[in-house]
Amino acid sequence: MNRVRFALFAILAALPIAAAEMPQTGQTAPEFSLPSQDGSNIAIKEFRGKWVVLYFYPKDGTTGCTIEAHNFQQDLSKYEAAKAVIVGVSVDSTDSHKDFCAKQGLTFKLLADTDKKVVDQYGSLGTRGVANRNTFLIDPSGKIVKVWTGVNPNVHSKEVLETLETMEK
């Protein structure tokens, strides 16, 4: 009997944790409100009238996440010129985001989804309980116009800017 229980446990443990279905191009971006690194609550609907680059990332301070954040920060003036805002989301706490922003000189909003509800709502909850590296480009009316999954942090900001340029024409 113990062998059967062990085998059943092993099978169940190997199954991936299923995230909610990922919103797709053409759909309205799911609504949410989360605390940012400065303690204020940020609702996605506050950005209506602007383009939103909503990016999910695994963990503050890790190599890939730092590279991705630096590239977004480096290109921030280009996003602002395109009337776009950058919003990052991870399951880290607001204190972790505050430290990450201070150490890395980040000035855009990082939102804390410690309950993992928004990460899951956007189909971006990974099997390890952190966010997968996915990005949603949301137009000024609140519709998703582009989705990137499993992005390369080294070139992602450039990819988003190129797409944003084509959307504005």
**Is residue 7 domain-resident?**
no
110 token code pair? 């990082």
Q: Which residue, 126, 97, 79, is CA-closest to 34?
A: 97
The span from the CA of 124 to the CA of 57, in Å, is 9
**Is residue 65 domain-resident?**
yes
- The residue annotated as part of the active site, out of 19, 52, 54, 65, is 65
Active-site residue 101, yes or no? no
**Residue 167: predicted pLDDT:** 86
**Is residue 2 domain-resident?**
no
Residue 141 maps to which CATH number?
3.40.30.10
What one-letter code names the amino acid at 12? L
Q: Is the pTM of this model over 0.95?
A: no
What one-letter code names the amino acid at 57? Y
What does each of the 169 residues of the chain score in pLDDT, given as a tens digit? Answer: 556 554 444 444 444 445 578 999 999 999 999 999 999 999 999 999 999 999 999 999 999 999 999 999 999 999 999 999 999 999 999 999 999 999 999 999 999 999 999 999 999 999 999 999 999 999 999 999 999 999 999 999 999 999 999 986 5
**Residue 12: predicted pLDDT:** 41
146 neighbors 53 (Cβ within 8 angstroms)? no
**Residue 113: predicted pLDDT:** 98
**Angle at the Cα of 157 (from 151 to 159), degrees rounded to 5?**
70
**Residue 34: predicted pLDDT:** 98
**Is residue 4 domain-resident?**
no
Question: Which domain does 160 fall in, by range?
Answer: 18-168
4 token code pair? 């059967």
Which helix (H) or strand (E) element contains residue 66?
helix 63-74
136 neighbors 123 (Cβ within 8 angstroms)? no
Looking at the structure of the chain, the number of domains it has is: 1
